[in-house]
């Protein structure tokens, strides 16, 4: 791979301030499309930081959080190269429960395999993961919170460990009760990722609704029949 910047010599490149190891990216800005759809680069996972910030705003302005429950918001780094930010922040905070927010492969466009990625569509609500990294009690509480608040959601089933921050959160120190939520995304890891802004808003509502259900004495221990 090479990138033509118009230079005619090595000296011109150095004079421009470009050195070995410099990072490049596509010049592709946020664009509103038809309906509530939008496209941009880096929705995965700058979108997650926005969702968490909006959930905090909702908790502050709308209330409903138990006075004995504290909520921390973390914007992690280096998830794609080893979940590093999630490991260190989970270690520092040591919470009893946590939610990781990421994206999922939407399958509502040509060439994407439903058998590989499952049934997740843009515009039909955020995803709630059920699987090895998700605490069953947290999963149930998220679903109950969504139903009580009339927030649409889709269930994402993942048999093994995920590549999300939820993996590191679950395994750090003595672990925590983790839920993994997300937004269905088309064209993941391209400069033109596409999502539903309504799904983004509902994911913030979902996170805030879950926080409101947690009590200081909530038992996250999975047991038969629970």
Positive or negative torsion for Cα 152, 127, 144, 224: positive
pTM listed for this prediction: 0.88
175-216, pLDDT tens digit by residue?
899 999 999 999 999 888 999 999 999 999 999 999 999 999
**Residue 220 placed within a domain:** no
- What phi-psi label fits residue 116: left (phi over 0), alpha (psi between -120 and 50 degrees) or beta? alpha
pLDDT at 27: 66
Q: What is the domain extent for residue 120?
A: 29-213
Q: Is 176 exposed, middle or buried (0-12, 13-18, 19+ CB in 10 A)?
A: buried
**Residue 199 placed within a domain:** yes
Cα dihedral 127, 95, 163, 139 in deg (nearest 10): -30
**Residue 173 placed within a domain:** yes
User: How sure is the predictor about 1, in pLDDT bands with cuts at 50, 70 and 90?
Assistant: low
Neighbours of 41 (CB within 10 A): 17
**Residue 160 placed within a domain:** yes
**Residue 174 placed within a domain:** yes
Question: What are 182's strand-pairing partners?
Answer: 102, 127
pLDDT at 107: 92
**Residue 20 placed within a domain:** no
**Residue 95 placed within a domain:** yes
**Residue 82 placed within a domain:** yes
CATH of the domain at 104: 3.40.630.10
Neighbours of 174 (CB within 10 A): 6
What token pair was written down for 109? 């466009």
* Residues with a known catalytic role: 79
Q: Which of 141, 170, 183, 148 is CA-nearest to residue 44? A: 183
Number of domains forming the structure of the chain? 1
The pLDDT > 70 percentage for the chain reads 97
Q: Which residue is listed with tokens 């926005």?
A: 50
> What mean pLDDT value characterizes the chain?
92
């Amino acid at each position: 791979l090479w990138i033509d910047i118009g230079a005619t010599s090595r000296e011109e490149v150095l004079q421009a301030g470009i050195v070995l190891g410099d990072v490049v990216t596509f010049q592709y800005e946020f664009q509103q499309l038809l309906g509530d759809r939008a496209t941009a680069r880096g929705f995965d996972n700058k979108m997650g930081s926005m969702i968490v910030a909006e959930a905090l705003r909702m908790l502050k302005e709308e209330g409903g959080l138990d006075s004995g429950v504290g909520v921390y918001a973390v914007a992690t780094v280096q998830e794609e190269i080893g979940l590093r930010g999630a490991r260190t922040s989970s270690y520092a905070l040591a919470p009893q429960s946590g939610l990781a927010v990421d994206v999922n492969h939407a399958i509502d466009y040509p060439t994407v395999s439903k058998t590989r990625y499952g049934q997740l569509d843009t515009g039909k609500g955020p995803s709630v993961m059920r699987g090895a990294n998700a605490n069953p009690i947290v999963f149930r509480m998220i679903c109950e919170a969504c139903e009580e608040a009339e927030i649409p959601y889709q269930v994402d089933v993942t048999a093994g460990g995920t590549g999300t921050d939820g993996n590191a959160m679950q395994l750090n120190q003595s672990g925590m009760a983790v839920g993994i939520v997300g937004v269905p995304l088309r064209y993941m890891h391209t400069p033109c990722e596409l999502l539903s802004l309504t799904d983004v808003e509902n994911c913030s509502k979902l996170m805030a609704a879950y926080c409101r259900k947690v009590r200081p004495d909530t038992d996250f221990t999975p047991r038969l029949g629970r």
